[in-house]
Structure formats: structure tokens, C-alpha cells
Structure 1
Amino acid sequence: MKVLTPREIVSELDKYIIGQDQAKRSVAIALRNRWRRQQVPRDLRDEIAPKNIIMIGPTGVGKTEIARRLARLAESPFLKVEATKFTEVGYVGRDVESIVRDLAELAVNMAKKQEQEKVKSKARELAEERLLDMLLPKRKEEVREEEGEKEKILEVVRVDSAEKSSTREKLRRMLRDGKLDKRYVELEVQDTQLPMVEIFSSGGMEEMEFNIKEVFGNLFPAKKKKRRVKVPEALEILFQEESQRLIDMDKVIEQAVRMTEQNGIIFLDELDKVAGSESGYGPDVSREGVQRDLLPIVEGSTVITKYGMIKTDHILFIAAGAFNVSKPSDLLPELQGRFPIRVELDSLSEEDFYRILTEPRNALITQYRALLETEGIELHFEDDAIREIAYMANRVNEQMENIGARRLATIMEKLLDEISFEAPDMEEDLVTITRETVSEKLADILEDENLSRYIL
């Protein structure tokens, strides 16, 4: 992986996210600091703690999108979780240590893929040989009745072997040229289904599920079932089997644990929902308990996973929340201290909505154009129409709940509903969306505020 500078990270984020420059700068510096820490002397490396971040801003302004894009840039184990899914230990629900276990699972999958890339060519060769064995089965040797005929039999076998070799090479060429793609072969594959066992337990018992699977896996012998598949699919199944055999799982797990501890990133969304005063009863009773359970993980502790002990001292935590009811100061003082970087994201303006519709690589207008192209329809938006959509999104956000850029998706879906439905039967191959089209489709809904609440 190419190590990106903070400026390059911000530049990559700019391709998908409009505005929020300060938040982009903060995550870019945090990501670069992971690399910087690896370059310092070992005795000092362990002392450098990650600078965790809290992103504060209303919904739909880009907090989650920044985290999602950062994960792709980092090529590190990355997990997005919502704080509201967790409960204090002792209550029914998931405990916060399962976050680290899930992160370790992701790291193992990443490490396994990296190892698969290394053995790819060897596994392909072995899979090809096994497939050729199926397409060209070996002949059973004739029962030798007389000792004196040994030399004669050996000579016949030698000739057969030469013929078989040339036939095998012909088959190999046909296989590589795709001439055998429509042929079927019968494969024996392992049946991975295990007895169905459901476990109802309190927090902290997620690992039991894995242990039960391992126990049943050892109790029952591996069952094989026959499948009749086409040659390309058979080649892929055999490739996966050979890859598994060639990969050293001990090495994979060792690498995954190291990746989790040194490069892991956890994005903790909806943190504001577990902040606030304690009610003492009812559904919010474990809010502060979740914070207390989060504290040791963020500070640095050791979590038991099925892959061994994992230290959380150098995992980077990026938290996010609207904090419109509670404030960051409502969090436990110790937890506040573990998130030294606070970034406030701006609310989106009408101009921001216009840019979101037109500039990013995954802009909504680009997506709808691509979808309707599959029906042979070219969708054209006039500039005035795009500005009208941005104006309406901004207006609805001001009148009702501000849900940020998510409002654009609702408006676009309502605007193009009829075209999307009629597209397969339409004769014209060019559809132009004008400002009048937008006003005509959405004006009535905007005028009736009660209707707007349900539709937009």
C-alpha cells in the first residue's frame, strides 16, 4: 500500500465528500500518525497513544461517509458500530468487548486474503491439475496374470502414458481457451452445515457461539456431498480448496492480531445517545454503564478473543454524534479525556446541496443516469433543475427535521418515480429534467407541510 500524506488523504476524501474541511484534516492527520508511530524507535513507539477523535454535527452532513471512505484508504481493519447497540454488562444485549472481537475477525479475513494472493498462482496450478484429472480419469491397470508378460504390459502402459500426456495437454489448452466452459463435472465438496443451536445469553457470551460450532465440528465427521457444476465454477471451488490447504493459518492469525493491535480503527457512531443524565430506571438505565464499559477499551486493555489476547492500547477510535440533546461534556470525564480531538461539522447549505448533486464521483445524478442508461434512456438535468432540487432540499430541512444530504435522496426518488417505473416501455431515448419539471412534481407536496412530513 502507498503511504498517503495528509494532503493526499484529504484530496481522496474530497472526491466523495463536499465541505467539512476541518474533519477531513483531523482524520488525515490521525491516519498519518499511525504510519509515523511505526517509524519511531521501539521503546518510544509503545508510549505514543492514538489521538482519538469526536466528530460533532447533525445527521446527514458526512460523518459516516468520512469514516467509510477512510476505511478504504487505510486498508486497515476497520469496524463501524453504533453505541446504542451495546448495553452495560449484566443486561441483555451485546457487551462492548464484542467490538474488539469483531475487529479481530475482520483482520483475520483481511490477512487470509493477503495470503491467498501470495499462493494464488500455485493454487491455480493445483486446481487445474485436479480438474484435468476429473476430465481425463486414469485407466485401471489390467490384472497381471502371468509374470512373464510384465515387460509387454509395461511397454503398453508407456505408450498409453504418452498418448494420455498429449491428450491432457490438449485438454489443458482447451480449458485455458474457455472451450470447456459449458461442460459439467461432478465434484465432492464438504458440507459445512452444522446442527442448529441457538443460545440465549446475557452480554459477554458471544464467544460461546464459536465454541459450540467448534465442538460440533469436531464431534461430527466432515460430510461430503456431490455437486454437478460447470467447469469454470468447478475450477473456482477447487482453487478455494487448494488455497485453504496452502495457507498457514497460524501465520494468518499472528498477522491479524498484529494488524488489529497496531492498525485497527473503530468508528463509534451515535456516541451522544449514551451520554446524558442517568434516569435510574427504564430503557436508558445502562447508558452510563456503556460508557464505563467503553472506558477500559479506549484507554487500553486486553480483550480475550478466539484468536488469543488482543491489546487495545493503539487502536484508533473515531466517535461521532449529533450532540443536539446532550453535549460532549455529559460524557464521563475519563472518557472525554481519551478523545482529545473535537471536530465540529457544519450544517449543509443550499450551495452544498448543489455541489453534492454534481461534484462527487458517486453523485446522485450520476447514479440515476447510470441506472436509466441500462434501459437505453439518456437522462439529462438542466442546471436550473439541479439548483431547484438543492433549494427544495434546503427548504424542507429548514421546515422540518434537518436530515442533511439524506433529504436529497428522498427528493430525487420522488422526482424520478414515474420515469423509473415507465422506463422499460418508453419510446423516447432522451429525458430532460427542467426546473418546471421539478416544480410541477414537488410544489404541491412542499405547500402542504403535513404531506411533506410523510413524503419528503
Structure 2
Amino acid sequence: MAGNMQDNFDENGNPIRCSFCGKEQGQVRRLVKGPTNIFICDECVAACSEILEESLASDFMDAARNGKLPGFLNDHGQAASQPAADPETEGFELEDDRQVITHVPTPHEIYDELSAYVMGQEDAKRAMSVAVYNHYRRVIEGGAALSAFDDGLDSQLDDDMDEVELAKSNILLLGPTGTGKTLLAQTLARILEVPFAIADATALTEAGYVGEDVENILLKLINAADGDIERAQVGIIYVDEIDKIARKAENLSITRDVSGEGVQQALLKILEGTVASVPPTGGRKHPQQELLQIDTTNILFICGGAFVGLDKIIADRVGNKGVGFNSEIAGPTSVDENDLLRQVLPQDLNAFGMIPEFVGRTPVVTQTQALDEDDLVSILTEPKNAVVRQYRKMFQLEDVELEFEDAALHEIARMALARKTGARGLRSICEDVLQQTMFDLPSEEGVSKVVVTEASVKGEEQPQRIYG
């Protein structure tokens, strides 16, 4: 609008002004013309935008207090005032403004479902099946005010049992990278049909420092629940890389350790159960901001980490190394990392850098085992979403059969072991082997079958193509 002098005046020769604030063209950066010679300047546009944002935030908070966030967070295409879904179809019921799980699979059912997606890791699957079952039974008993002793037992016994409060059993999951820790947590959430969120502990810092507040991990769970806070309050949060916030005892710097022990301290109340205040749009809190209130009492926290070096701490304790001239010198041990992690005690985690208060709030400690060659071959072929099955499905879309020779599967497993990334390396190796074939196949006619051989995995030849 500021091209030449004529643009600054209307057809009557009067200076063009903003119809809202009255400023002329020369006093603002830009004037936008509307119908019937109405103009608005960039400053008024910015002011209007701020007013709309404040109004949306107010609507956001009002809806959140009623258990529903606005429709733009609702994936079900329903207004905010309506339920996001039929609760009974998802194992939930609404009663007295509370959302309660009505059915919990037995530990055997949870274990069987986990086994369909996670190969091996028997100890971890059993421990997590029991812990999750007990946790959600506790949610039902406390939230729905049910009594397990209403079948004609002595009333005095009922009174005694009613006074017992069931503590929350958060889970600490140890194990090398690529052994299925995150997959176990994701599968649990899918079995129970509860909201699930993954948070990265490495991004968390103490309040007041650059980084994320610990309360922001709760916002991810709220968003996973389509903004339904009541439903989010019975969800599962997987906190990954929890070992990266261990206390840095060897830190000789005078600067504060804002991403270590301080974050553990900040997580304590959330893990134990508290009403936390969460910024509705994430980021840091500020005094003028209205906050979402969420009760973490019935949220199950699964904290996972590789805990590199923890096996050496356990070995030092188990080895009983002596000090002095008459002490016995401990010889080299043949105990592998898997056996050592099974013997982990709270004092070992404390020595690693996890504060005692944090260890006490994750009473269920289990571990995933390092994978061997046979485990990796099973992961390639047996789960419902196995890597080999996925590639066979992709080739099937091109009307081509894909076959992996047994020797090829073992070679892929050996290469993944050499990369020391666990099961994560399997897909990238398969991608490298099949990339040229997948590039040529859509434009090549007559191919009916592709066979992946050991030599093709080693890079000595391309997978064999059979025509006919």
C-alpha cells in the first residue's frame, strides 16, 4: 500500500488511515485495504491476533476443567462438550465424573500378548505382567471404591482390609540398547487400551534452566488421551534414558548439575502421586498462565535405561574384593552381564548415581537381557510385526515372493551383534541388502521370486531374482 504518493490518499484526496486506530500510512509499516474503503494496519492485526490467542487459551482452560480439551485436540471429530469416544468400547466407564478401568487382563493374558511381539526377555515379561496387573487392580479398587471382600466375609475383616492402602508400583527397566524396553512398554499400553506417552529424560532440567520441566512429560500423556485428563490419569508414561540423569559424582566443575540429581528430585512427587500443574501449551510456566491440573496417583511410570557400567558395580560388590596384604586377590570372573544384572540391589543403583528416594519410588526392578544370535533370528521371523514379514508384505504388493535362506538370517543376526545396537540394527541391515532390488523391482517385469542368500547379505552378490 506504500508504493507511491497516490497510494497514501483516497479518491477524495484524504489521507488513508487505519479504521481502528486512526494512524496514517506513514506511521505504520503496512495498511491492508478491505471492502468499502476500510483499512487495518499491521499493529492492529497483531493486537487482534493476541486477543484471539487469549480467548482460545481461556476456552482451552474451561474445557480442560470439564475433562475435555477443545475440539482441535479431539481426533474423533466431536465437539468438546461431547465424549471423545464410547467409553464402554474401550474398557472404561464414566461414573461420578471419574473414568475407571473396568477390566484388567490376567498376568498370563498380558504375558501371552507381550510374547506375540517381544521375543525372549521372559523375566522382564513376567515381572511387568504382574506389576501392571497389580497396578490397575489397585486403580479399580481405589477409584471405583470396590471391595474384594463383599462376599459374606466377616465385617471386621472387611474393615481391616478397607484400611489398607495399596502403594503404586512403578517399574525400573534395565537392559542394553535394542533389547525391547520401549517395545514392552508400548505393547502394555496397547493391551490395556490406555493412553501411552514416551518421554526422554535427557531433555529434562531443573526448573529455571534451559530445557524442559518434568511436568511437560504429563502434557504428552494428556495429548495422547485426546485432551481427556480423566483418561490420562490412568495412562502409562515410559521415561527413556533414565540412566542419563544419574548423579555425576565425578563432576569436578563448580557449575550446578541441572540435568542430573536435580531432575531426579523433581520427578519424585510425580512418581509417587501428586496433583501436578502443567502448562497447556508446554514450555515453562509463568505467573499469568492458567495451568492444567492432573493427578498422577494412578499413572504408571516405567523408567528404562541401558545403565552402562552398572554390571561392573555389581561385580565389585559380588566379588568381595579385599584390601590389604593378606586379602585374597579376586581372579577374572566369567559371569556375563545378564547374570550380573539379575543380582542388582538398590545399593548398586545408588552407587551408579540414582538417589535413594528415586530408587524407592520404583520398587519393581527388572531387566532385559542382551540378545544373542538365536534371539535376533527369532526377532527377525517370529513376532506379529517381524522385520522379515514386513518385507514379505512389501514384496507381495509387487506380486513377488520374498524368501530368506536360513544362513542369510543368521548372517544378518551376526552383523547386528557386531554393531552392538541390539535388534535396532536388523532393519537397517535388511534395508541395505534389499535396497537395489526394491529400486529395480517396480520397473522390472517377469520377476516372481527373490531369494536372499548369505552371500547377498555379505555384499558379495545381489539377492537372486527368479523369473517366470
Q: Same fold (TM over 0.5)?
A: yes
1:78 equivalent to 2:165? Answer no
1:409 equivalent to 2:427? Answer yes
**Match of residue 263 from structure 2:** 290
**Match of residue 15 from structure 1:** 116
**Match of residue 393 from structure 2:** 370
Higher RCO (CA 8 Å, separation ≥ 6 residues): 1
* Equivalent-residue separation in structure 2 for 1:434 and 1:104 (angstroms): 47
RMSD: 2.5
* Equivalent-residue separation in structure 2 for 1:45 and 1:59 (angstroms): 42
**Match of residue 391 from structure 1:** 414
* Equivalent-residue separation in structure 2 for 1:390 and 1:372 (angstroms): 22
CA contact (8 A) 2:114 2:187 kept: yes
* Equivalent-residue separation in structure 2 for 1:25 and 1:45 (angstroms): 29
1:304 partner SS? strand
**Distance change (3 Å), C-alpha of 1:361 and 1:281:** farther
* Equivalent-residue separation in structure 2 for 1:273 and 1:91 (angstroms): 17
**Match of residue 182 from structure 2:** 64
**Distance change (3 Å), C-alpha of 1:273 and 1:308:** closer
CA contact (8 A) 1:88 1:290 kept: yes
**Match of residue 449 from structure 2:** 430
* Equivalent-residue separation in structure 2 for 1:359 and 1:338 (angstroms): 35
**Match of residue 153 from structure 2:** none
**Distance change (3 Å), C-alpha of 1:4 and 1:324:** same
2:208 partner SS? coil
CA contact (8 A) 1:272 1:328 kept: no
CA contact (8 A) 2:131 2:364 kept: no
**Match of residue 127 from structure 2:** 26
**Match of residue 320 from structure 1:** 304
**Distance change (3 Å), C-alpha of 1:69 and 1:442:** farther
**Match of residue 35 from structure 1:** 136
2:385 partner SS? coil
How far does residue 281 in structure 1 lie from its aligned partner after superposition?
Answer: 5.3
* Equivalent-residue separation in structure 2 for 1:260 and 1:45 (angstroms): 27
Amino acid at match of 2:430: M
- For residues 381-425 of structure 1, the C-alpha deviation after alignment (integer angstroms, 9 at most, x for no partner) is 12222222223322x13xxxx210111112111111211111112
How far does residue 276 in structure 1 lie from its aligned partner after superposition?
Answer: 3.1
* Equivalent-residue separation in structure 1 for 2:170 and 2:427 (angstroms): 31
- For residues 251-296 of structure 1, the C-alpha deviation after alignment (integer angstroms, 9 at most, x for no partner) is xxxxx333333x2211111000000315345695432111111111
**Distance change (3 Å), C-alpha of 1:410 and 1:108:** closer
How far does residue 298 in structure 1 lie from its aligned partner after superposition?
Answer: 1.0
Q: How does 1:47-446 map to 2 (within 5 A)?
A: 47-109=165-227, 256-261=228-233, 263-277=234-248, 279=251, 280=253, 285-305=258-278, 308-325=292-309, 328-329=349-350, 330-394=353-417, 396-397=418-419, 402-427=420-445, 428-441=447-460
**Distance change (3 Å), C-alpha of 1:290 and 1:46:** farther
1:3 partner SS? coil
2:422 partner SS? coil
| TM-score computed with the length of structure 1 as normaliser | 0.59
Structure 1 residue ranges without an equivalent (≥5):
110-255, 444-456
The count of aligned residue pairs is 291
CA contact (8 A) 2:274 2:295 kept: yes
How far does residue 46 in structure 1 lie from its aligned partner after superposition?
Answer: 8.7
1:436 partner SS? helix
Identity value in percent: 42
How far does residue 59 in structure 1 lie from its aligned partner after superposition?
Answer: 0.4
**Distance change (3 Å), C-alpha of 1:281 and 1:322:** farther
**Distance change (3 Å), C-alpha of 1:392 and 1:102:** closer
* Equivalent-residue separation in structure 2 for 1:333 and 1:391 (angstroms): 39
